[in-house]
Amino acid sequence: MIKQRDSEDLIHSYFRNKTVAIIGYDEQGYQHAKKLRELNAEVLVVLRDGTEEAHWKKEGFEVISVWEAVDRATILQVW
């Protein structure tokens, strides 16, 4: 049986040093993006049309198009 700590380590090691694109960014996506960044994942953000980019760029996230995300990301997450 996998212990809780072993499970967390496994999840963390999976995302570490990967490029993750979060599509459809919202509050849950924002929290997840911060956690991924702590794991040394490169986090790319795809916003819905009309969503203000300045806040997310200020937080240090790169805002890109969905097509660029498909080209660059190792993992795509849709929120």
- Between CA 2 and CA 60 the distance in angstroms is 35
Domain that holds residue 70: 4-78
- Between CA 2 and CA 45 the distance in angstroms is 33
Q: What is the pTM of this model?
A: 0.83
Q: pLDDT tens digits for 20-70?
A: 999 987 788 888 899 899 989 999 999 988 888 888 899 999 999 999 999
**Counted domains in the chain:** 1
pLDDT of residue 79 exceeding 80, the answer is no
Q: Tell me, what's the pLDDT at 22?
A: 94
Q: What is the CATH number of the domain that holds 16?
A: 3.40.50.720
